[in-house]
A and B are shown apart, each in its own frame.
Chain A
Amino acid sequence: MKRLLEILGDWWAGLVGSAGLPSWVTVLGEMVFAAILIGAFIAVLVLFLIWLTRKVSAHIQLRFGPMRVGWHGAVQTVADAFKLLQKEDTTPRVCDRPVFNVAPFLAFAPTVVAFVVIPFGDGVIVRDLNIGVLFLFAITTINVIAIISGGWASGSKYSLLGGFRSAAQLVSYEVPLVLSALGVIMLAGSMKMGAIVEAQSRVWFVAYQPLAFAVYVIAATAEVNRTPFDIPEAEQELVAGYNVEYSGMKFAMFFLAEFANMFLVSAIAATLFLGGWRGPWLPGELWFLIKSFAIVLLLMFFRWTYPRLRVDQLMSFAWKFLLPLAFVNLLATGLIIALG
């Protein structure tokens, strides 16, 4: 994979050079190429994830799930996507039109951008930024704004309440999430994703930071609004949460962002704690996918086995339990590094 990308890069640079174009054309071309690659990856990934969710949930509940379209319903999501594309794009009369229209894209864009710093394999990363982990957490916070805007602009009480709950939850769980990642950053001594993977060449960080890993997984579950933290979209109370009024393509954008986010937090967990793409025998890209999907499956098991928390339980859990735990972990990590 790395070799292939290098060959492609050289070919492209040679092409631009021989055409006598300035060097920024090369960079621009690389950017477009990366965007197309990430876009295609996310599209295929989400189609697969939706099918997987339905299958896992069905089997946990002793059902079959989709069976008719393709082998074990494998292309069911494709059919659903086509159906969704044909749907009328309704807009509520009382909505705030510009914000209503922009919000779905605001939800999707940061997720795509975040994939820029995910190391898929040895050298298979769009840009290994110096501030990699910080960039990830910073860019994914924009999601909250999209959810608030969407919920508010819809002009419906259900979506507004959903947006509210979502914002409160995401902001609260953001804090332990970032703090749990800090322990890893301290051990690796760098925020570069590549360097963090490099630092785990012998022992995975989950061995040194089991507490941080637990805090990260819990907070990440909350960040992607999965049960037991799915109060923002509690069906019985809110119909569907912040996206009630959305239909057609715009609804699909929110949906896409949600599933892509689920993979994103799993991929981050795999990179920060489980050694990223490193592993014996198999190629790195495969290891990366295996580890990420292991976390995805974990999140799915959570979703279909735990009941939902109440709002006050949710908040006190984040601030009174997870946050102190993350601080204790940070302190212990600092002490150990300072002493030994």
Chain B
Amino acid sequence: MTDWIYVGSFYAAAAVALLGAFGVLFLRNLFHAGLSLILSFFAVAALFVLLGAEFLAGVQVLIYVGAIAVLILFAVMLTQRLTSRHIKTYTRALVPAVLVALGLAGVAALVMLKLRLPAAAALPAASPLDELAELLLSTYLLPFEVISLLLLGALVGAIVLARKEERR
């Protein structure tokens, strides 16, 4: 693969990801915004592929597009005016929202500027999957387990919240 194709597709994918994100922000129709989010997720998956993280790309599509985005669309369809195609979003509390967003962007930018990421090691040629699995269950075992505990907590919490409603 020649260099310019690689660089070109990287920027194209990044642009599509941003486009999708802007669509989520500015599309008035909630359902369209949801579809736009899917576009953005896909472009991020493409970025992962270009960075050599195929496994992450597959998981990104499976989890984010296949589960999370579907859930979001589902929730949109469950809203009150079900069959109406004029499910609209409204702009509320514009000033505080902008302030929070700017603050978040500032913090992210600061971190990005301060952070000295180690140069990416050469990609393992044989099978990056084996390596990933090895690392997850040895070096990064603790973070892995902590995250799964966190998700379990969220799961139990969601069930508790859902059941409360039932008892009433």
On A, residues with C-beta under 8 Å from B are 22-24, 27, 94-96, 99, 129-131, 134-135, 137-139, 141-142, 144-145, 148-149, 152-153, 155, 157, 160, 163-164, 167-168, 171, 174, 178, 190-191
Q: Establish whether residues A96 and B77, one from each chain, have CB atoms under 8 Å apart when the complex forms.
A: no
A172 to chain B, nearest CB (A): 11
CA distance A237 to B58 in the complex (A): 37
Q: Establish whether residues A141 and B62, one from each chain, have CB atoms under 8 Å apart when the complex forms.
A: yes
19 A-B contact pairs sorted by A residue (CB < 8 Å): A96-B85, A99-B31, A130-B55, A130-B128, A131-B54, A131-B55, A134-B55, A134-B62, A135-B58, A138-B61, A141-B70, A145-B35, A145-B69, A149-B35, A152-B31, A157-B83, A160-B82, A171-B67, A190-B129
Q: Nearest A residue to B74 by beta-carbon distance?
A: A167
B132 to chain A, nearest CB (A): 11
Known: A96-B85, A99-B31. A141 touches B66 (CB 8 A): yes
Quick check: is B1 within 8 A (CB to CB) of the other chain?
A: yes
A300 to chain B, nearest CB (A): 27
Q: Establish whether residues A164 and B1, one from each chain, have CB atoms under 8 Å apart when the complex forms.
A: no
Q: Mark B85-115, 1 if CB is under 8 A from A, else 0.
A: 1000000000000000000000000000000
Q: Nearest B residue to A133 by beta-carbon distance?
A: B58
Q: Establish whether residues B73 and A145, one from each chain, have CB atoms under 8 Å apart when the complex forms.
A: yes
B138 to chain A, nearest CB (A): 16
* Chain B interface residue number, banded: 20 to 34
Q: Nearest B residue to A163 by beta-carbon distance?
A: B77
8 Å CB contact of B66 from A24, A96, A130, A138 = A138
8 Å CB contact of B38 from A131, A139, A145 = A145
B129 to chain A, nearest CB (A): 6
Q: Establish whether residues B67 and A131, one from each chain, have CB atoms under 8 Å apart when the complex forms.
A: no
Quick check: is B5 within 8 A (CB to CB) of the other chain?
A: yes
Q: Establish whether residues A155 and B83, one from each chain, have CB atoms under 8 Å apart when the complex forms.
A: yes
Q: Nearest A residue to B60 by beta-carbon distance?
A: A138
CA distance A155 to B87 in the complex (A): 12
Q: Nearest A residue to B129 by beta-carbon distance?
A: A130
B74 to chain A, nearest CB (A): 6
Contacts of A160 in B (CB 8 A): 77, 82-83
Q: Establish whether residues B128 and A24, one from each chain, have CB atoms under 8 Å apart when the complex forms.
A: no
Quick check: is B32 within 8 A (CB to CB) of the other chain?
A: yes
On B, residues with C-beta under 8 Å from A are 1-2, 5, 29, 31-32, 35, 38, 54-55, 57-59, 61-62, 65-67, 69-71, 73-74, 77, 82-83, 85, 127-129
Q: Nearest A residue to B5 by beta-carbon distance?
A: A24
CA distance A129 to B82 in the complex (A): 41
Contacts of A167 in B (CB 8 A): 70, 73-74
Q: Nearest A residue to B45 by beta-carbon distance?
A: A138
A184 to chain B, nearest CB (A): 15
Task: Tell me if A's interface is mostly helix, strand, loop or mixed.
Answer: helix
Contacts of B70 in A (CB 8 A): 141, 144-145, 148, 167, 171
Contacts of B66 in A (CB 8 A): 138, 141-142, 144, 171, 174
B134 to chain A, nearest CB (A): 12
CA distance A145 to B71 in the complex (A): 10
8 Å CB contact of A191 from B5, B62, B129 = B129
Q: Nearest A residue to B61 by beta-carbon distance?
A: A138
CA distance A164 to B58 in the complex (A): 25
Q: Establish whether residues B59 and A134, one from each chain, have CB atoms under 8 Å apart when the complex forms.
A: yes
Q: Establish whether residues A145 and B65, one from each chain, have CB atoms under 8 Å apart when the complex forms.
A: yes
Contacts of B38 in A (CB 8 A): 145
Instruction: With A23-B1, A95-B85, A174-B67 given, name 19 new contacts (CB 8 A).
Output: A23-B2, A130-B55, A131-B54, A131-B57, A131-B58, A134-B59, A135-B58, A138-B62, A141-B61, A141-B67, A141-B70, A145-B35, A145-B73, A149-B35, A160-B82, A160-B83, A171-B70, A171-B71, A174-B66
CA distance A200 to B58 in the complex (A): 25
8 Å CB contact of A155 from B57, B77, B85, B128 = B85
Contacts of A24 in B (CB 8 A): 1-2, 5
Q: Nearest A residue to B56 by beta-carbon distance?
A: A131
